Structure 1
Amino acid sequence: MLGSLWRFAVRTAAGAVALWVVISLIDGISLSFPATPLYQDGQHDQLLTFLAVAAIIVVLNATVKPVLKLLGLPLTIITLGLFSLVINAVIMLLAEYVSNIMGFGLHIETFGAAFIGAIVLALVNWILGPITGLLGANKD
C-alpha cells in the first residue's frame, strides 16, 4: 500500500514538472492560481496548484484512459496507433474540466493546443521515466 502511494507521489511530481514544461512551451495552455491562499500565506500556491493538476492527470490516466483505449482500439489499429494521441488530448481536456470544478484553473483554448500539449507532456514524462522508475521501484 505504501509503495503504491509512493509511486503515485513520484508520478505526480514528475507530472507537475511535465505540466510546467507544457505551460511554458504551448501558448494555448495556461494555469491560473487561486485568489485566496491554499496554504498559510500562499507562497507555495503555484507549486500546490501544479501538483494538484498533475495528480488529476495521473488519476485520469489510471482510470479513464484504459477505458478510452479499449473503446478506441479499432481506430487505434486502423490509424496504426496515432489515435492514441487523440486519446491523450482528450485526457488533457478532461483534466481541464475536472481541475476547473475543483478550483485549480487549468485552461486549454483549443483541441489543437490540447493535442500538442499531450504530445509534449508524454515526451517530458518519457524523458523523466528512468528517474521516476528508479524512485518508484522497490518501495513495497
Structure 2
Amino acid sequence: MLGSAWRFAVRTLAGAAALWVVILLVDGISLSLPTTPIYGTGEYDQVLTFLGVAAIIVILNSTVKPVLKLLGLPLTIVTLGLFSLVINAVIFLLAEAISNALGLGLSIETFSAAFIGAIVMAIVNWILGPITGILGARGD
C-alpha cells in the first residue's frame, strides 16, 4: 500500500515538472492561481496548484486513459498509432475541465494547444522516466 502511494507521489512530482515545461513552451496553455489562498497565506499556492493539476492528470492516465485506448484501438491500428496522440490530448482537456471544477485554473485555449501540450508532456515524462522508475521502485 505504501509503495503505491509512493509511486503516485513520484509520478505526481514528475507530472508537475512536465506541466511546468508545457506551460513555458506551449502558447495557449496557462495555469492561473486561485483567488483565495489554498494553504496559509498563499505563498505555496503555485506549487500546490501544479501538484494538484498533475495529480489529476496522473489519476486520469491510470483510470480513464486505458478505457479510451481500448475504445480507440481500431483507429489506433488504422492510423499506425497516431490516434494515441489524440487520446493524450483528450486526457489533457479532461484534466482542464476537472481542474477548473476544483478551482485550480488550468486553461487550454484550443485542441491544437492540448495536442502539442500532450506531446511535450509525454516527451518530458519520457526524459524523466528513468528517474521516476528508480524513485518509484524505492517505495517497494
Match for residue 83 of structure 1?
83
Q: Which runs of 4+ in 1 moved over 3 A?
A: none
TM-score w.r.t. structure 2 length?
A: 0.99
Match for residue 94 of structure 2?
94
Match for residue 108 of structure 2?
108
Structure 2 letter corresponding to 1:107? S
Cα distance in 1 for residues equivalent to 2:138 and 2:102:
33
**What is the DSSP-based 3-state SS (H/G/I as helix, E as strand, rest coil) of the residue aligned with 1:137?**
helix
Match for residue 129 of structure 2?
129
Cα distance in 2 for residues equivalent to 1:98 and 1:40:
24
Match for residue 10 of structure 2?
10
Query: CA offset at residue 138 of structure 1?
Result: 4.1
Match for residue 42 of structure 1?
42
Structure 2 letter corresponding to 1:31? L
Cα distance in 2 for residues equivalent to 1:23 and 1:121:
10
Match for residue 57 of structure 2?
57
Q: Deviations over 1:97-118 (max 9, x none)?
A: 0000011000000000000000
Gap runs ≥5 in structure 1: none
Cα distance in 2 for residues equivalent to 1:64 and 1:40:
33
**What is the DSSP-based 3-state SS (H/G/I as helix, E as strand, rest coil) of the residue aligned with 2:27?**
coil
Cα distance in 2 for residues equivalent to 1:21 and 1:78:
31
**What is the DSSP-based 3-state SS (H/G/I as helix, E as strand, rest coil) of the residue aligned with 2:81?**
coil
**What is the DSSP-based 3-state SS (H/G/I as helix, E as strand, rest coil) of the residue aligned with 1:22?**
helix
Gap runs ≥5 in structure 2: none
Query: CA offset at residue 139 of structure 1?
Result: 1.8
1:14-29 to 2 correspondence within 5 Å?
14-29=14-29
Query: CA offset at residue 35 of structure 1?
Result: 1.1
Structure 1 letter corresponding to 2:61? N
**Pairs aligned (count):** 140
